[in-house]
Amino acid sequence: MSQALIGKPVERVDGRLKVTGGARYAAEFKVANLAHGVLVMSTIANGSISSIDVKAAKSAPGVLEVITHLNAPRLRFPERPQVNDDGVAPVFGRALPVLQDKTIYFNAQPIAVVIAETLEQAEYAATLVQVAYEERKPVTKLETEMASAFPPQEGLMKEPPTGRPADYMRGDPDALSKAEVKIDETYTIPIEHHNPMELLSTIAEWSGDKLTLHDKTQWVPNTQSHVALVFSIPEENVRVISPFVGGAFGSSLRPWSHPVVAAMAARAVKRPVKLVVARNQMFTSHGHRPYTVQRVALGATREGKLTAIVHEGYAQTSLYEENTESLVNATRMLYASPNCITKYRLVRGNIQTPLYMRGPGECSGVFALDSAMDELAYKLKIDPVEMRIRNHADVDPSDGLPWSSKSLLECYRRGAEIFGWSRRTPEPRSMRDGRYLIGMGMATATYPTLRMPASARARIFSDGTAVVQSSASDMGPGTWTMMKIIGAESLAMDLNKVRSELGDSTLPKGSVHGGSGTTASVGSAIYEASQAVKAKLLKLASDDKRSPLQGATEQQVTFADGRISLKSDSSRGETYAEILRRNRLPSIEATVDSKPGDEGKKFSMHAFGAHFIEVRVDADLGMTHVSRGVTVCGGGRIMNEKTALSQMTGGVVGGIGMALTEETVMDHRMGRIVNANLGEYHVPVHADIPALQAFFVEERDEHCNPIGAKGIGEVSYVGVAAAVANAVFHATGKRIRQLPITLDKLL
């Protein structure tokens, strides 16, 4: 790579489209003769439909059709693991067989769809559908079912999928009982919902046996393959278009019921159908961060060196799938301890299948682990930062592998310095500003560096421009811009002469837009495709007697400013455009299928960071406000400083919401979510968030992938809730182990 574009602050290439309304989201595409679909949801959480009366609905003005399990086409929802694991859907179970039978698995489950000429007509007709049920008592409370908890089946597999749970132990199983000092506490995290601004949306249009879906998705090829499988049609007959995603945070990682229902409806009425899931329906139409109960026990010497770690996690899953996440995985590698035990168990309930939510697994697990580390530090009267430094892992304790790169100690040092940690007095309730108790807390952040198979195309045109393409999604962090930057630098071209294209299944298959792996995966593919197309250009010139580069090899030339020239004589060279025009070629291209090698067997690859948080707690009312925040991260090579800093601060905002406001409340008598709206499910607003600071430690990782990117989307979120909880304890002397930290828990 010759030009210095990577790492510089670059404006979003899609920014103007978004702020002017020019960006088209899934529900905004103009399609002729469009009808509208509205879902009807169950009003019970467990049982079956005994009768469903759609006469009034079908007779309502504008209604074209009402589809229920009685008249829906029979579709294919095969059991896993007979189908390939896509890395997002649970390995075991079966996707919700929407509108296929009378069984009710959870409250507000889709049981019918009304299709009408207008949205208003469909919404009204949906209220006319009459349903009678055979109801059974729902099971939705994890604590009452823990006796029936079970290890996930994939944990018993010979080789569990990457990042998935299996019981783990190293060292002495009785080390905890022998520790000089120990703590043993339980931490609880409620169900949390993603709540992006853009609702789940699909426009489905059939043309013979071919289907086009404008769909909100974080993984275009996955939606394509899922819908093709369900309808038993070839994948190439399904086109999925998703150029812009209005936030997702994991909610659109896998296709839920809506694209299938939209396609079903469009086929039934023989015209395009738009289906937009309503905000209250979003709380059961996709997954959520699972309810978890975690026991963390730590043993240490009186000098603060860990001698034992025990981490047991219990998580909810649905009746029909075994959703798992890496809840206890960070505990195995984050701190040095010769003895460690982790255990992960599932509890079934009448809920929608949970799903990854930003920082999945690690976000919940590190809240418990780093809260416990803080408790141990106070018990030993050791500074919390010093406590973590004393237990820094110089190699991965879980497998003994060296780190591909690690800047965690520098993150601690810089974060403490910028934040002013030295001004903190150690005793709880010792810092005050009038009526406000001041607290300072910190926590460690970590997330694995993932690289997934991805394909990309690089094409150079005879007019001196280029395009890089992949079907990857962009839910907001800047994939459009990242692709353009990597393409321009890899092609050695001016940034303004390269454009990016994404979000269409007709393009080379991109990886899932999640797990902080998009840049590492798609970016590496773009880099490799760019190298391949430059090699093709050089061969054209080298084989051409008319070229000043005749006979030149790769070692003898340089690529810069859209031109190839000899290292020995820069005047001998020609532009890409000149090479193509002389050969009468309108363009030249290369497509590559990029995939990780064996680096994961040689190195442990993670991003690391540290969060420092200051809170102000009203001493009389218990109201808590985050007043300052500093985050320092070692995230490998940063592609775009501007969007990366935005990613970091956005992650901290999400972590503050996890700590202080977000909770999906369940009425366990009916198995019903009672705050399924943005008025009562409290996400942070601008008034809740101070000016946050984020910084990167310069980190060059030569092992993780060709471009050295480690991913920052999740690590920015992981640890924030623990840092806030630790700050609240420092302010008040009250340790809150059940999120969110609301005023009733402090009074």
729 CB-side CA count, 13 A: 23
What is the Cα–Cα distance from 96 to 73, expressed in whole angstroms?
15
Q: Which of 461, 492, 458, 467 is closest to 579 using CA atoms?
A: 461
Strand segments (E) across 397-556? 432-433, 436-448, 454-461, 466-469, 498-501
299-310 b/e with 16+ CB inside 10 Å = b? bbeeebbbbbbb
Lookup: tokens for 303: 């000098």
Assess contact for 397 and 333: CB atoms under 8 A: yes
Handedness of CA 23, 26, 31, 34 (dihedral sign): negative
The residue with tokens 């799938």 is 321
User: Element (H or E) spanning 486, and its range?
Assistant: helix 479-491
Task: Say if CB 723 and CB 611 are below 8 A apart.
Answer: yes
- Give the chain's largest Cα–Cα span: 86
Find all residues with CB under 8 Å of 71, minimum gap 6, and list them. none
Distance CA 221, CA 509 (A): 6
Specify the amino acid at residue 138.
P
The DSSP bridge partners found for residue 589 are 459
Distance between CA atoms of 685 and 122, rounded to whole angstroms? Answer: 33
Q: Which two tokens stand for residue 184?
A: 């043993």
d(CA 488, CA 578): 18
CA 135 to chain centre: 36
Closest CA to 731 of 442, 439, 441: 439
**Buried (b) or exposed (e) across 662-677, using 16+ Cβ within 10 A?**
bbbebeeebbbbebbe
Cis check for the bond before 740: say yes or no (omega within 30 of 0): yes
The answer to whether 271 and 264 are in contact (CB under 8 A) is: no
296 vs 463: CA distance, rounded Å: 62
Verify whether residue 680 is a known catalytic residue.
Answer: no
User: Please, which contacts does 534-540 make with residues 24 or more away whose CB atoms are closer than 8 Å?
Assistant: 534/491, 534/492, 534/559, 534/564, 535/590, 536/588, 536/590, 537/460, 537/564, 537/576, 537/579, 537/580, 537/588, 538/564, 540/579, 540/580, 540/583, 540/585, 540/588
Compute the radius of gyration of the chain from its Cα atoms.
27
Q: 265 phi and psi, to 5 degrees?
A: -65, -40
SS3 at position 247: coil
Residue 47 backbone zone (phi > 0: left; psi -120 to 50: alpha; other: beta): left
Q: Which of 65, 154, 198, 714 is catalytic?
A: 714
Half-sphere exposure of 156 (CA within 13 A, CB side): 7
Pinpoint the alpha helices (H) of 334-462: 362-380, 384-390, 408-419
Residue 244 has which token pair? 């812009």
- H helix intervals, 240-339: 257-269, 282-285, 329-333
Number of H helices and E strands in the chain, helices first, is 19, 29
719: left (phi over 0), alpha (psi -120 to 50) or beta: left
Which residues are designated catalytic? 714
